[in-house]
Structures are given as structure tokens and as C-alpha cells.
Chains A and B, each alone.
Chain A
Amino acid sequence: MEQTSQLKLKAPSKLEHIIFSKWVVYLLLTPALIVLIGVFFIPMLLMLVQSLTDEQSNFTLANYALFFSEPFYWGVLWQTIKLSTFTVLGALILSYPVAMFMAQSKGKIRAIVTFLVLLPHLVSVVIRNFGWTIILNDRGMINTILLEAGIIDQPLRLMYNELGTVIGLVDSFVAYMILAIATSLYTINPSLYKAGAIMGANKVRNFISITLPLSLPGVYSGIVLVFSLSMSAFVTPTLLGGTSVKVMPALTYQQIMFTLNWPLGAAISFILLGTTIFLVSTFTKVTETKRYKVVFKS
């Protein structure tokens, strides 16, 4: 019959065979691979070698030993971790309500809010940090208002300290957290809330037993993202932290650009990388319980 023959799938042509063969796929990946190997893996390898050799090009762990024997250095590591943790907490608290609002709104409003969340990222982080300087400094907007209103009589120290750094970091990275949480909230089937309500749960109860647990994948990936970004942030801690805040990326920069101690700078940056990987993978191991894997990964 004629009709059935029309339903048959057309056999792939020779051209299609060529286009979809795996060799072509590898070929298309090659430029990206070359760039990645050339400007990322090879320099990383060189840095690693440098951190592990002395002036006579002999193997040594001296640079790493120096880092851990000097309280000043691991104080910097500790401060970096601390600032990143506070940044994660701040971003989490600010993000959740925004993400919930986005999940509850539809169409146009959701699009507008998404745009507003991303808008600050169209401006360079340096400019945004200077913006914060205008707001936070001793004669900045906040202090002026509070002084004029007579609420305080000494300006509050809002920047050139850890507080200012965390404010700046939260501002830089909160969008990632918002979008990560919102994305997982979007996937919650709204009839789950109806099911909860009809079984006797009020809004608060529904939030605790439905929204919160089902948003965990977004929360976790938001935490990992913001934490990693904060650990490696350089500009904001430098501009808003001032001299009292010292973080690992700034320490690396200082060793390489001013002290010209490349091996130590390289070692510091690998210690930072190792610490971040260790903390993130521990976090993932702890949070991804057996139940979590069954529910979200299958």
C-alpha cells in the first residue's frame, strides 16, 4: 500500500552518516580542547612544578611547609574560608524569598525579576564595589543618614573590614544563588501544595514539608557555586576589605607581583584550590544522603 510506505523513515543519507560520525564530533571539539589545554592545563602544570621545585630545580616541599609553619599564612586561609562561609549564608538568606517570589509569579513578572537579578552583572565588579564605597564609607550614605537622624554619634565602620567584604561578595554572587534556587523551585508540581493543603497542612507547614526539601538541589548547588566563587574572589576583598582583610587570592597576587616569589605564590594558589575542592566535596558527600540520591538523582 502506498500510505504505509510513506510512513517509513527515510534511510540516513551518506552526508548524514558523515556529519554524525563520532570522528566529526571529536574534530569539532578540537579547537576548544586546544585552547583549554594550551591556556589552562599547561600553565597549571607549570605552576604545580614551580611550587614543588627550589632554585636548583630540585624537588622540594619547602614552599608548602613554609605556608603551614607560618600562622600568618594559615590565618589568611582561615579568613578566606570564614568570609566565604558568611557570604554563602548572607546570599542564602537574601536569595530564598526572591527565588520563591520568582517561582510563584508567571510569565512577564518572572522575566522582569530575572532581568533585574542579572542586571548588576552588566556592570563591572570594580564599578559596583566603588558604588558600595559611596554607600558604606565613614561619610557615606548610610552613615550620613544615621548621623543626621541622631541614631548614632560616631560613624559605623561598614567597610575596610570583614563586614564590607561580605557585603560586596554577597552582592557579587547572590544572583547565582537566586537562579539556582529558583530553578529547583520551578520544578515543584503546584498540585503538591494542593495535596498538602487538603491533607491538613497550612501554608507554613506546606513550606516546611514540601518547598524546603524539594528545593535542596538548588540550595546545594547555589552554596557550592557561591562558596567556590567567594574563595577565589580577588577584587572585592581588596577594594572593600582594605588592609585588615587578607584573602588567599590577594596573597598569591602579592607573592607573584611584588615579592616575586613565584614558587610560594604557586604553592599558595594550589593550597587554595585543594582546600576548596576538599571542602566542596566533603559538603557534597555529607549532603547527598542515600535518600537524596534516590529522590533527586534517579
Chain B
Amino acid sequence: MQYDVELKNIKKQFNKQDVVKGFNLQVKKGEFISFLGPSGCGKTTTLNMLAGFLDPSEGELFIKGKRMNNIPPYKRELGMVFQTYSLFPHMTVFENVAYGLKLRKKPKAEIESRVRKVLELVQLPHLHDRFPNQLSGGQRQRIAIARALVTEPSILLLDEPLSNLDAKLRVELRDELKRLHKQLGVTTIFVTHDQEEALSLSDRIVVMSHGNIEQIGTPNEIYNQPKSEFVHTFIGQTNQFEGNIKSINGSQIQILSKDGVVFNTVVSDSRFQVGESVNLFIRPESIFLGKEHNNSLDTACIQGKIKLVTFLGSITEYHVAIGDHDLVVRTQQPQKEWIEGADVLCCWNIENQLLIRREM
């Protein structure tokens, strides 16, 4: 199978410092991929290597099956939108959008009709003769998107395109991007440090930290089955138990938490040994409250007492005391008997938990 984008063990060093440490990714035609990670984790560097502004120190890069190492950006046939709009300030909206077509020496009539069409696509058909400094931030970014799309690029690269906009516009333009992607089906790589943007837009998310890929998966997988402590803590909220393994019985593991609570859980492999220090992570949304253990093998439960109930509209948040520890639980279906002071059983499906050895 031919991928639209393929990165094979891409590495990048600046002054002997590893900024991207072995990036492997395959993007299918029409996919919307997000690079998600905190500022400085190497997202822009990776995107710039894809665009051709930087050469990888190591590794291979393919676009539509063609090896792209050492091919300059102007020959890659990509579209790109930057955080700082980057419209040409001395050109009108029309000239900005038409620029790529002019470089390709398209006939005048074709340029005009394509520019008109793409400006309608981003819902700004009436701004032809304005200059960028006569536009609002949201309008500028829409024009920048139009400019990137007008040449019908094979891949669309977006480097934090929404980060300079205020909150309301950001959501508006996010939905706009989603609509455009649905309508055009252009393979898109979207860089962001905003988990909401990544979760709401992407077919798959690449979570990055310190130049490493932490996890690649659908928004659902990333949120509900985080594979590393970083993904657990960077995205959404999470509960953390510190403890020791008290006993192991096949795949059943008994954990003694730091504040003296014992509970059982199940792991799919047997990497652990009795006495080891471990951390267990579980998201508030993954926990369900109940009275009785359903005794199924893939459920782990722990007894606690409700300390605090907070009604948040569509969801209700419970703080459940487990020893000295608070477990945060969120549910969309609160029950009448779950009141402050009530004893409850907090359970979760083990595929939603992350149990890892604690580094000493």
C-alpha cells in the first residue's frame, strides 16, 4: 500500500542536541493527523522537515511514495498554513491567493475562477481587493487557508493555525477546518499543543514529548487507553495511585497503595514482580460507581466513601476518599443514593487503566 506521507526513523539534531528522536509515521490518503504535544517537543521541527525547510539528520521521508529527502520545498507541491498568518502584506487578498497559481503559470481566466472558488469555500468571497492589514485575525487565517488550498496540494500542513486567535474564533475556525477536510478530503497534518483541537479534529493523533512519539491512535484510543504516563497526564485529567505489588496470581495482581488500601487488578502480561513499586493511572470518566463487584475478570474495583459531589451540568463529579487519597470520578448518569458520606465501589475496565513500574 502506498501512503500519502511516510516518515521512516526521522531524526533531527540541533547543535548535537536531539530534537526529534526517531519519528515513524504512515499517513493514509485523506487522513487528518494531529501532532499533539507541549511547546518545544519538536512538532514544528518535524513539520518543517516534511515541508523541506529543514533536512533530517537521519531517516527517510516519502510523500506519495516519492522519496523527498533533499528536495527543496518549492518542488514538493504542498500547502501550508502558519501560526502567524504569513500573508504577503504588500499583496491584496486576490494576489495572495493567486500567487501559487501565478508561479505555476496558469492562464489568467483559470486563476480568476479558481481564486473565486476557493474564497467561496472559506466563506470570504467579497474581500478580493483588501490588504491583509485591513482584515481581522480570523479573516486572515481563512485567507491563508484558501491560499494553501488553491493549488490543490497533495498534503496540507497546518502549524498551530488557531493559536493566535481568541477563544471564540478558535472554535469557529476549528469547525471550519473540519468541514473543509470533510468536503475536500485532503490529507492533512495539523500541529497543535491544544488537546481539544487534536481530539475534535483528528482521525489519528500523534502524541509527542521531548522529540519522542508517546502514542499514535484515534482520539478515542488516546483518551481512553493512554499507553504512557505522559499521555495520561498531558491529555485530560487522571487519577494516580502509587503503590507496591503485594501478590501476583496469574494475571491477577494485588496492589497495596501508599495510603494502605489493597485492591485487585488484572494485567495482560506478566512483566511485574512481587514487591515492585508501581503507578496506576485511570481517568475520571473511565470509573463507574456501584455497590457490588460484578466479578468479571476484566474489571478492577476499589472501595471508597463519597466526600464531595459537584454538579457540572451535563456531568457530575465525585470525589471519593480512598484512604487518604481522593479519586475523581465523572459520570453523566448520577444516582440519587450517591450522596456525600455514602460508601461506593469504584470500578473500571482494566483496558482503560495504565499500570507501570515506578522509576526510583
Contact = CB atoms under 8 A, between A and B. Distances in A.
Interface of A: 189, 191-192, 194-202, 205, 209-210, 213-214, 291, 294-295, 298
A295 B90 contact: yes
A73 B2 CA distance: 80
B104 to A, nearest CB: 6
A228 B88 CA distance: 32
Contact of B82 (A194, A202, A209, A210): A194
B228 interface: no
B151 A199 contact: yes
Nearest to A210: B88
Contact of A201 (B52, B74, B76, B147): B74
Contacts of B103: 199-201, 205
A298 B100 contact: no
Contacts, number: 72
Question: 3 shortest A-B CB distances, which residue pairs?
Answer: A199-B100, A197-B73, A200-B103
16 contacts: A189-B84, A189-B86, A192-B86, A192-B88, A194-B73, A194-B80, A194-B82, A198-B73, A198-B148, A198-B157, A200-B75, A200-B100, A201-B74, A209-B88, A209-B99, A214-B89
Chain A binding site: helix, strand, loop or mixed by DSSP? helix
B93 to A, nearest CB: 12
Contacts of A294: 131, 133-134
Interface in B146-192: 147-148, 151, 157
Nearest to B76: A198
Contacts of A198: 51-52, 73-74, 76, 78-80, 148, 157
Contact of B84 (A191, A196, A200, A295): A191
A200 B74 contact: yes
Interface in B55-91: 72-80, 82, 84, 86-90
Contacts of A196: 88, 99
Given A194-B51, A294-B134, A298-B133, A202 B72 contact: yes
Contact of A191 (B86, B90, B100, B104): B86
Contacts of B88: 192, 195-196, 209-210
Interface in B68-127: 72-80, 82, 84, 86-90, 99-100, 103-104
A195 B86 contact: yes
A109 to B, nearest CB: 16
A155 B84 CA distance: 58
B3 interface: no
Nearest to A195: B86
Nearest to B96: A195
A97 to B, nearest CB: 22
A263 B1 CA distance: 91
A200 B76 CA distance: 8
Nearest to A205: B103
Nearest to B79: A198
A214 B90 contact: yes
B113 to A, nearest CB: 19
Contacts of B147: 195, 199
B53 interface: yes
A191 B73 CA distance: 13
Given A194-B82, A202-B74, A214-B89, 19 more contacts: A189-B86, A192-B86, A194-B53, A194-B80, A195-B82, A195-B87, A195-B88, A195-B147, A196-B99, A198-B51, A198-B73, A198-B157, A200-B74, A205-B103, A209-B99, A213-B90, A294-B131, A294-B134, A298-B134
Contacts of B151: 199-200
A197 B103 CA distance: 11
